[in-house]
Amino acid sequence: MRGRQVCWSDPKLRALAKQFIPAADEVWRLQHRKDLDCLFFQGFSEEGHYGGRSQPSSTRQGIYCCSPSGRFLGSVNTTDPRRMERMLRDALAKWKALPAKDRLLDYDPAARRDRIQRRAALYPKDGLALRVYSRDMPRPKVPADWRATAWNVDSFWVRKSEARTLLPARLGKGQATAWPAALAQRLVRHGFVDNVRGQTNGYRAAEVQIARIETTVLSIRGDLVAVRFDGTSRATTTGTWPKKGRYAGMAEHGPNSRGVQTRMVGTATFDRASGRFTAFELVAVGTRWGQTRYNFRQGDLDESPIGFALILDPEDPGNRVAPAEIGAYGW
């Protein structure tokens, strides 16, 4: 999260990245699964900065450089651009010193792509794929660092069969319907979460007090149905979870409360011919409070304004990332 602003917006690092083939990926899967790409990662990651470590955390997250053959060239986990620069330069020197015969795989990796299972394959290409952006709304006191402009993004996916249920069964101007409870809950549980500064947990179904979204037909022109959305949401939970310290051994466990409540308004256009939304904008604004272990809200526990913006996911098959909590979708 912070790395986007502090490291990968740095001109020197972006210039250095041109000498590599850059990739971003989710580390838990790479660390733990047995797919081809995961084994590839496991083949060099133990030579890196967190190699062999289990305390205070067993994560292997960070920046790694390797050859296409899987030879380790360097790694670091930092948001200090100059430390990152040193690691990249060192890795490039090692790459140049690596004998040509050791640099590449002796098979075509494209031919083995289908051995890899990823949840991005669940992308609802005939349904509704949205990006959910989150950001703090204007507030009186703003931290004088990266948190002032922090934002995040996740995905929200709706299958084709579900997408039609967001509209009234009978389409006519003024007709209205409530979103099916399961879909409204999916959005509130997994979309409206305080991930502005870093990843967080969603809510369990029982932790959603309000998930009401209504669709009203504004107009119909040919196959194009223009609609308006209005809604309210509230999800909150109390319990005991790590509230201080980023890692298990440092965590201070204690009673906690967290929540998000919003009001929503938006518009969309649904094309009856294709059965797809061709435009979609939904804004949800309200307040958040509390913290989770990794969302950098320490010292910012009181209610403060938050906003979410949902827009259509740009059609980019090479850049599809599944929703963070797609495991809870039941797909």
Q: Which 156-185 positions form the footprint of another protein (CB under 8 A)?
A: none
| Cα–Cα distance for residue pair 244/247, rounded to 1 Å | 9
CA-to-CA separations, 325 to 41, 53, 157, 172, 251, in angstroms, rounded: 23, 26, 11, 35, 23
Q: Rank residues 21 and 273 by Cβ distance to another protein and give the closer one.
A: 21
Give the total of residues touching another protein (CB under 8 A): 90
Q: How many whole angstroms separate alpha carbon 8 and alpha carbon 18?
A: 12
Q: Using CB under 8 A as the criterion, what x/- string covers residues 292-311 for binding another protein?
A: --x----------x-xxx-x
Here the tokens at position 118 are 């990823």
Is 262 a binding residue for another protein by CB under 8 A? The answer is yes
Q: Provide the minimum distance between the beta carbon of 270 and another protein in the complex, in angstroms, as a whole number.
A: 19
Residue with tokens 């509390």: 290
Contact between residue 308 and residue 133 where contact means Cβ atoms under 8 Å apart: yes
CA atoms within 13 A on the CB side of 141: 5
Q: What letter does residue 210 receive in the DSSP assignment?
A: E
Exposed/middle/buried for residue 165 (C-beta within 10 Å: 0-12, 13-18, 19+): middle
Selected binder of another protein within 99, 140, 318, 330 (CB under 8 A): 318
Q: What angle do CA 329, 35, 293 make, to 5 degrees?
A: 50
CB 321 to another protein: min, Å: 4
Using CB under 8 A, which of 168, 187, 188, 195 touches another protein? 195
Contact positions with another protein (CB under 8 A) in 95-154: 95, 103-105, 108-110, 113, 116, 118, 120, 133-135, 137-138, 149, 151-154
154, 191 in Cβ contact below 8 A? yes
**Does residue number 244 form part of the binding site for another protein (CB under 8 A)?**
no
- Among 127, 281, 301, 329, indicate the residue that binds another protein (CB under 8 A): 281
Among 168, 242, 286, 290, binds another protein (CB under 8 A): 286
Cα–Cα distance measured from residue 327 to residue 331, given in angstroms and rounded to the nearest whole number: 8
Q: Is 241 in the site for another protein (CB under 8 A)?
A: no
The only residue of 51, 68, 254, 327 in contact with another protein, by rule CB under 8 A: 68
Smallest gap from Cβ 169 to another protein, in A, equals 26
Residue 284: DSSP 8-state: E
Q: Considering beta carbons, is residue 79 or 175 the nearer one to another protein?
A: 79
| 211 is a site residue for another protein (CB under 8 A) | no
Choose the binding region for another protein from 67-75, 169-177, 218-226, 237-245 (rule: CB under 8 A). 67-75
Q: Tell which positions 22-51 bind another protein, by CB under 8 A.
A: 22-28, 30, 36-37, 40-41, 45
**CA dist., res. 175 & res. 172, Å (int):** 5
Question: Looking at beta carbons only, is 137 or 171 nearer to another protein?
Answer: 137
Q: How far is the CB of 273 from another protein (least distance, A)?
A: 27
Find out whether 303 and 137 touch, Cβ atoms under 8 Å: no
Q: What are the phi and psi torsion angles at 328 (to 5°)?
A: -90, 0
Q: How far is the CB of 82 from another protein (least distance, A)?
A: 17
Least CB distance to another protein at residue 194 (A): 11
63 lines the binding site for another protein (CB under 8 A): yes
- Provide, rounded to whole angstroms, the least separation between the CB of residue 85 and another protein: 12
Secondary structure letter of residue 263 according to DSSP: E
User: Is 88 a residue that touches another protein (CB under 8 A)?
Assistant: yes
Q: Half-sphere exposure (CA, 13 Å, Cβ side) for 295? A: 26
| Count of CA atoms in the C-beta half-sphere (13 A) of 223 | 8
